[in-house]
Amino acid sequence: MRDSKSFIEPITSDTGDRVFALLCLFFSLFFLYHHLFIYRFSFNFKTGICWHYQLLFFSSFFFSLAILFFFRRKSISLSGIICCTLLLFYCYCKSQNEYLCVVGILTVLGTLLYYAERTVLVFLFCYGNFAFLIYELSVAGIQISNEDPIKGTLLNTGVFTIYLMSTIPLLFYFIIGKNSVSVSRILSVGIAYLVGISIRIFCVFVLVFIIYIFIQSQSRTAQIAIAIITLLSLWKYNQNYAKTRWKLPFQKMLLVAIPITLISISLITYYTLSIKKGSTNGRLLMNKVAFDHITDHFWTGTGIGAFTKYYPEWQAAYFRSTPNPPHFFLLSAGESYIVFNEYLQLFETVGIFGTIILGIFLIRFLRTKSAKDSDLLHIAKLTVISILSCGFTSYPFHINITLFVLMLSICIAFKFDENKSTPLFFNTFQIKNKKISYAILTICLIASLYLTIQTGRQYQAISEWKKTGTDNGLPRSEQQSIYENIYPLLKKDGKFLTEYGIFLSQDSLEKNKAIVILKQAKGQFMSKATMEALGNAYWKTKDYNNAIECYKWVSDYIPSLFTPRFNLLKLYLQSGNITEALKTGNTIITMSPKIPSDEVDNIKQETRQMLEKYN
């Protein structure tokens, strides 16, 4: 392994490169903080969460600053700069696509980090990641002592365990990596040895605490992933021992390792499927619904971030077309935009062509080699594998912090690669015609400055939007003025359109306009809130047929809900469709509640009273 003196080399004395490296470090830490404490998921269906606009603005601003430093570099990648500019511009044009923006922004950040000094990547990957891990575990310790759910700052136990899973390879690096904690340059050999041992012992305690959290949370995903990572780590650090001590050739070691790995994964999978059966049933439903539509966009996929528009329709269509679905499917169906199987969802998103391209990229990543930094490169690969292994039963590609760690690991691998397998996108070349190169850089700079201004206007519009609502105490006239002023900037954002439509539907004079706005929202953001708001708007205008369609869709999408089906019963009665009213009423009475409550009992009682008039 390369010692600390060689791989944490000092930043070049060139002032421009030093400032560029510090900028990359500062904004990377900003994104890391943002993803851990503010903007955790990139698939939010809550209408008030729109943090990607802020990230898009800061990314455009940061990229504009970064371009300035490329004017003075002797070698640059114009292809990388041009692609990043086009990617940011595309994200701006599709700014309503939350997931696309997050992936695009992290791609741009990763490209710039690749151009920065190695020190920045090593600091972020090893020490920045480790510092945030210790903080998260401190929060988890407080939650355990208070007997609260263990979720760190990530608001969800499953998400928290996935994040912890992505840090385990780093702990292995500190614990069993050769010379992984070399401090002999600044301390005497004896003291350095004691410090190294102390750090290893501390990391062992951290690892034990993480495993304890996995056991307490009963995380199936984490238990499967940690088995894979442990076996791969033992393989990495013991294959040479097996060769020399036992004189086992590589082929025989594979014959031993592969069955052990498969048996271990099978046993853990069987165990984990036996716990949390309700959650397992929900995942089976989502996988079935998604798989039934795998050929709909077979070649090119739905597009990045567009899957969230299709899946609600598919789930509603499944229950609408299936007369007697399994009872556990009815109870486990919920409002979801992910299927807890990233590989199935990824195929649906990018199609067969995109899957092949990603497969080639993954192979090139795994083929990266470095004789001097083999341990660090191996840990980067293990980190990616740990995240990938979570993708079979969870959604690590939709958690912003794991996407950030994934990006860092890929950058580390290609930055330290000695195998010449770096993607063409990253390659640099000498500037031959400076005038042409400077002209291209100037165009990219102007475009990025334009994006900074436009995304800044969108971010300001989001800030204005958050001033609306009953909690802020603004008069209705002022709220309406805000909505009208920011509508041109956010007219493609389904979340904004949903809240704008709900606001308009509260005014009897704006009912028709509310319908127009909510129909626009439906085209961008299929959700329970959108469809209920549209159905309510139709109801107020006595357009019973369209109102029935909306509430029927919600009842099909989430069949275990009582309120939408009860509203559907009322609409059938008001429209004079007694046959469908009786059918819907009988369904409500015989439905089993997901969670018994007084509200459900009241709905059933009122339904019986309504049906007594027609029996």
Same domain, 264 and 341: yes
Residue 284 lies in a domain: yes
CA pair distance 310, 302, nearest whole angstrom: 8
Percent of residues, the chain, with pLDDT higher than 90? 50
CA distances to 3, 89, 348 from 394, rounded to whole Å, are 37, 31, 16
Of the three residues 406, 435, 464, the one that is the final residue of a domain is: 435
Q: CA nearest 425: which of 84, 24, 64? A: 84
Same domain, 518 and 584: yes
- Taking only the tens place, the pLDDT of each residue in 155-214 is 888 899 999 999 988 998 888 765 444 444 444 556 666 777 888 899 999 999 998 998
Q: CA nearest 390: which of 160, 136, 106, 151? A: 160
Give the rounded distance of the alpha carbon of 66 from its chain centre. Answer: 26
Residue 208 lies in a domain: yes
- Taking only the tens place, the pLDDT of each residue in 469-489 is 766 778 888 999 999 999 999
128 phi/psi in degrees, rounded to 5: -65, -45
| Average of per-residue pLDDT values in the chain | 84
Same domain, 159 and 286: yes
Q: Give the pLDDT of residue 375.
A: 85
Q: Is the pLDDT of residue 359 over 90?
A: yes
Cβ-Cβ contacts under 8 Å for 362 (sequence gap 6 or more): none
CA pair distance 237, 241, nearest whole angstrom: 8
Burial 177-204 (b: 16+ CB within 10 A, else e): beebbbebeeeeeeebeebbeeebeebe
CA pair distance 568, 555, nearest whole angstrom: 8
Q: Give the pLDDT of residue 467.
A: 87
Same domain, 605 and 515: yes
Same domain, 292 and 147: yes
Residue 68 lies in a domain: yes
Q: Residues, the chain, total?
A: 615
- Rounded to two decimals, what is the model's pTM? 0.88
Same domain, 392 and 523: no
Same domain, 406 and 491: no
Residue 457 lies in a domain: no
Of the three residues 373, 404, 435, the one that is the final residue of a domain is: 435
Q: Taking residues 495-510, what's their average pLDDT? A: 91
Residue 292 lies in a domain: yes
Same domain, 431 and 489: no
Count of the separate structural domains present in the chain: 2
225-234, 482-491, 502-511: range with lowest mean pLDDT: 225-234
Same domain, 331 and 421: yes
**Which residue type, as a one-letter code, is found at position 561?**
L
- Taking only the tens place, the pLDDT of each residue in 16-42 is 778 888 889 998 988 888 888 889 888
Same domain, 261 and 142: yes
Residue 459 lies in a domain: no
Helices (DSSP H) in 491-540: which residue ranges?
Answer: 494-505, 511-524, 528-540
- For residue 549, give its domain range: 474-612
Q: Is the pLDDT of residue 331 over 90?
A: no
Instruction: Record the tokens describing residue 22, joined without a space.
Output: 């510090």
- Taking only the tens place, the pLDDT of each residue in 377-402 is 989 999 999 899 888 888 999 999 99
Residue 460 lies in a domain: no
Residue 466 lies in a domain: no
CA pair distance 25, 122, nearest whole angstrom: 11
Same domain, 94 and 45: yes
Of the three residues 379, 405, 435, the one that is the final residue of a domain is: 435
